[in-house]
Amino acid sequence: MGPGGSRSRSLGAGRVTPDARVERPPRVAVIGAAQASESAYVDAQALGHALAKLGAAVVCGGYGGVMEAVARGAAEAGGLTIGILRGSRGEDANPWIQVPLPTGLGEARNALVVAGAEVAVAVGGSWGTLSEIALAKKMGLDVGTLGLPPAGDLDLPALQDPSAAAHWALERAAAFRAAG
Protein backbone atom coordinates (compact mmCIF):
# COMPACT_ATOMS: atom_id res chain seq x y z
CA MET A 1 0.00 0.00 0.00
CA GLY A 2 1.16 3.49 -0.78
CA PRO A 3 0.82 6.62 1.33
CA GLY A 4 -2.66 7.03 2.78
CA GLY A 5 -3.54 3.41 2.04
CA SER A 6 -3.59 3.93 -1.74
CA ARG A 7 -2.70 0.96 -3.93
CA SER A 8 -2.03 3.18 -6.91
CA ARG A 9 1.64 3.57 -7.82
CA SER A 10 3.79 4.29 -10.81
CA LEU A 11 4.85 1.21 -12.74
CA GLY A 12 6.79 1.63 -15.96
CA ALA A 13 4.71 3.07 -18.80
CA GLY A 14 1.40 2.18 -17.15
CA ARG A 15 -0.15 2.81 -13.76
CA VAL A 16 -1.70 0.37 -11.36
CA THR A 17 -5.22 1.49 -10.49
CA PRO A 18 -6.84 0.98 -7.08
CA ASP A 19 -8.61 -2.13 -8.38
CA ALA A 20 -5.21 -3.61 -9.42
CA ARG A 21 -5.56 -3.16 -13.17
CA VAL A 22 -2.70 -1.76 -15.20
CA GLU A 23 -3.69 1.17 -17.38
CA ARG A 24 -2.10 0.43 -20.73
CA PRO A 25 -1.10 3.31 -22.99
CA PRO A 26 -2.54 3.56 -26.51
CA ARG A 27 -0.24 1.73 -28.95
CA VAL A 28 0.52 3.58 -32.19
CA ALA A 29 2.46 1.93 -35.01
CA VAL A 30 4.54 4.42 -36.94
CA ILE A 31 5.64 2.95 -40.24
CA GLY A 32 7.98 4.27 -42.90
CA ALA A 33 11.18 3.69 -44.81
CA ALA A 34 14.51 2.68 -43.30
CA GLN A 35 16.08 5.25 -45.64
CA ALA A 36 14.08 8.39 -44.83
CA SER A 37 14.24 11.77 -46.52
CA GLU A 38 15.20 14.70 -44.31
CA SER A 39 11.59 15.92 -44.18
CA ALA A 40 10.26 12.44 -43.31
CA TYR A 41 12.87 12.14 -40.54
CA VAL A 42 11.91 15.53 -39.08
CA ASP A 43 8.17 14.72 -39.29
CA ALA A 44 8.64 11.29 -37.70
CA GLN A 45 10.73 12.69 -34.86
CA ALA A 46 8.12 15.38 -34.14
CA LEU A 47 5.35 12.76 -34.34
CA GLY A 48 7.17 10.55 -31.82
CA HIS A 49 7.54 13.52 -29.47
CA ALA A 50 3.85 14.44 -29.79
CA LEU A 51 2.70 10.83 -29.26
CA ALA A 52 4.83 10.48 -26.14
CA LYS A 53 3.50 13.74 -24.71
CA LEU A 54 -0.05 12.42 -25.30
CA GLY A 55 0.81 9.23 -23.41
CA ALA A 56 1.04 6.78 -26.32
CA ALA A 57 3.50 3.93 -26.71
CA VAL A 58 5.25 3.95 -30.10
CA VAL A 59 5.57 0.66 -31.98
CA CYS A 60 7.86 0.54 -35.00
CA GLY A 61 10.23 -1.73 -36.90
CA GLY A 62 13.14 -0.69 -34.69
CA TYR A 63 15.83 0.12 -37.23
CA GLY A 64 16.85 3.33 -39.06
CA GLY A 65 15.15 6.11 -40.99
CA VAL A 66 11.54 6.82 -39.94
CA MET A 67 11.77 4.09 -37.27
CA GLU A 68 14.80 5.72 -35.66
CA ALA A 69 13.30 9.21 -35.90
CA VAL A 70 9.97 8.34 -34.30
CA ALA A 71 11.68 6.35 -31.54
CA ARG A 72 14.10 9.20 -30.91
CA GLY A 73 11.31 11.77 -30.65
CA ALA A 74 9.28 9.57 -28.31
CA ALA A 75 12.22 8.58 -26.11
CA GLU A 76 13.47 12.15 -25.80
CA ALA A 77 9.96 13.16 -24.66
CA GLY A 78 9.87 10.38 -22.04
CA GLY A 79 7.68 7.96 -23.99
CA LEU A 80 7.83 4.19 -24.41
CA THR A 81 9.38 2.83 -27.62
CA ILE A 82 8.93 -0.73 -28.85
CA GLY A 83 10.86 -2.10 -31.84
CA ILE A 84 9.66 -5.25 -33.60
CA LEU A 85 12.89 -6.44 -35.23
CA ARG A 86 13.18 -8.61 -38.33
CA GLY A 87 16.38 -10.20 -37.04
CA SER A 88 17.15 -12.24 -33.96
CA ARG A 89 19.45 -9.77 -32.14
CA GLY A 90 17.97 -7.12 -29.89
CA GLU A 91 21.22 -5.17 -29.92
CA ASP A 92 20.63 -4.41 -33.62
CA ALA A 93 17.79 -2.03 -32.74
CA ASN A 94 18.39 1.69 -33.05
CA PRO A 95 19.60 3.31 -29.81
CA TRP A 96 16.20 4.92 -29.10
CA ILE A 97 14.32 1.62 -28.81
CA GLN A 98 13.66 0.77 -25.16
CA VAL A 99 11.95 -2.58 -25.77
CA PRO A 100 13.56 -4.43 -28.69
CA LEU A 101 11.61 -7.54 -29.67
CA PRO A 102 13.69 -9.70 -32.03
CA THR A 103 11.54 -12.01 -34.15
CA GLY A 104 13.88 -13.70 -36.64
CA LEU A 105 10.99 -13.39 -39.14
CA GLY A 106 12.58 -11.08 -41.70
CA GLU A 107 10.05 -8.86 -43.48
CA ALA A 108 7.19 -11.04 -42.18
CA ARG A 109 7.64 -9.12 -38.94
CA ASN A 110 5.73 -6.27 -40.63
CA ALA A 111 2.55 -8.09 -39.62
CA LEU A 112 3.61 -7.95 -35.97
CA VAL A 113 4.44 -4.24 -36.13
CA VAL A 114 0.84 -3.38 -37.01
CA ALA A 115 -0.76 -6.22 -35.04
CA GLY A 116 0.91 -4.81 -31.93
CA ALA A 117 -0.87 -1.46 -32.38
CA GLU A 118 -4.34 0.02 -32.29
CA VAL A 119 -3.78 2.50 -35.12
CA ALA A 120 -1.01 3.21 -37.65
CA VAL A 121 0.54 6.35 -39.11
CA ALA A 122 2.66 6.04 -42.26
CA VAL A 123 5.40 8.65 -42.67
CA GLY A 124 6.46 8.47 -46.29
CA GLY A 125 7.68 4.98 -47.07
CA SER A 126 8.24 2.40 -49.75
CA TRP A 127 7.33 -1.25 -50.39
CA GLY A 128 7.65 -2.37 -46.77
CA THR A 129 5.43 0.50 -45.69
CA LEU A 130 2.85 -0.49 -48.31
CA SER A 131 2.82 -4.02 -46.91
CA GLU A 132 2.28 -2.67 -43.39
CA ILE A 133 -0.55 -0.40 -44.60
CA ALA A 134 -2.24 -3.36 -46.32
CA LEU A 135 -1.84 -5.61 -43.28
CA ALA A 136 -3.12 -2.90 -40.92
CA LYS A 137 -6.22 -2.28 -43.05
CA LYS A 138 -6.82 -6.05 -43.36
CA MET A 139 -6.65 -6.25 -39.53
CA GLY A 140 -9.23 -3.47 -39.20
CA LEU A 141 -6.87 -0.71 -38.08
CA ASP A 142 -7.21 2.89 -39.14
CA VAL A 143 -4.18 4.17 -41.08
CA GLY A 144 -3.27 7.80 -41.69
CA THR A 145 -0.46 9.29 -43.71
CA LEU A 146 1.91 12.09 -42.76
CA GLY A 147 3.89 13.54 -45.63
CA LEU A 148 3.91 11.89 -49.03
CA PRO A 149 2.27 8.46 -48.91
CA PRO A 150 4.03 5.55 -50.63
CA ALA A 151 1.06 5.24 -53.05
CA GLY A 152 -1.43 7.90 -54.04
CA ASP A 153 -4.89 6.32 -54.35
CA LEU A 154 -5.21 4.41 -51.07
CA ASP A 155 -8.05 6.60 -49.71
CA LEU A 156 -6.23 7.17 -46.42
CA PRO A 157 -6.58 10.34 -44.33
CA ALA A 158 -3.82 12.83 -45.10
CA LEU A 159 -2.66 14.28 -41.78
CA GLN A 160 -1.46 17.87 -41.91
CA ASP A 161 1.37 17.88 -39.38
CA PRO A 162 2.91 15.75 -36.60
CA SER A 163 0.68 17.20 -33.88
CA ALA A 164 -2.50 16.62 -35.88
CA ALA A 165 -1.28 13.10 -36.68
CA ALA A 166 -0.67 12.33 -33.00
CA HIS A 167 -4.12 13.58 -31.95
CA TRP A 168 -5.80 11.68 -34.82
CA ALA A 169 -3.92 8.49 -33.85
CA LEU A 170 -5.06 8.66 -30.21
CA GLU A 171 -8.69 9.33 -31.23
CA ARG A 172 -8.63 6.31 -33.56
CA ALA A 173 -6.88 4.11 -30.94
CA ALA A 174 -9.64 5.00 -28.46
CA ALA A 175 -12.29 4.12 -31.05
CA PHE A 176 -10.51 0.81 -31.73
CA ARG A 177 -10.56 -0.03 -28.01
CA ALA A 178 -14.19 0.98 -27.66
CA ALA A 179 -15.19 -1.27 -30.56
CA GLY A 180 -13.64 -4.20 -28.68
Does residue 15 sit within a domain?
A: no
Does residue 98 sit within a domain?
A: yes
Does residue 160 sit within a domain?
A: yes
Cα separation of 57 and 35, whole Å?
A: 23
Range of the domain at 159: 25-179
% of the chain beyond a pLDDT of 70: 89
**Could you tell me whether strands 9-11 and 14-16 are parallel, antiparallel, or unpaired per DSSP bridges?**
antiparallel
pLDDT band at 105 (very low <50, low <70, confident <90, very high): very high
Q: What is the mean pLDDT of residues 92-115?
A: 98
Which tens digit of pLDDT belongs to each residue from 140-168? 999 999 987 777 767 788 898 999 999 99
CATH number, domain containing residue 49: 3.40.50.450
Most confident of 8-17, 55-64, 122-131: 55-64
Q: Does residue 8 surpass a pLDDT of 70? A: no
Does residue 122 sit within a domain?
A: yes
Which tens digit of pLDDT belongs to each residue from 87-99? 999 999 999 999 9
Domain count, the chain: 1
Sign of CA dihedral 166, 168, 172, 174: positive
Q: How far apart are the first and last CA of the chain?
A: 32
Does residue 14 sit within a domain?
A: no
% of the chain beyond a pLDDT of 90: 78
Helix, coil or strand: residue 178: helix
**Residue-wise DSSP of 111-176:** HHHHHT-SEEEEES--HHHHHHHHHHHHTT--EEEESS-SSS-S--PEE-SHHHHHHHHHHHHHHH
Does residue 9 sit within a domain?
A: no
CA count, 13 A, side-chain hemisphere, 121: 38
- What pLDDT, on a 0 to 100 scale, did the predictor assign at position 178? 94
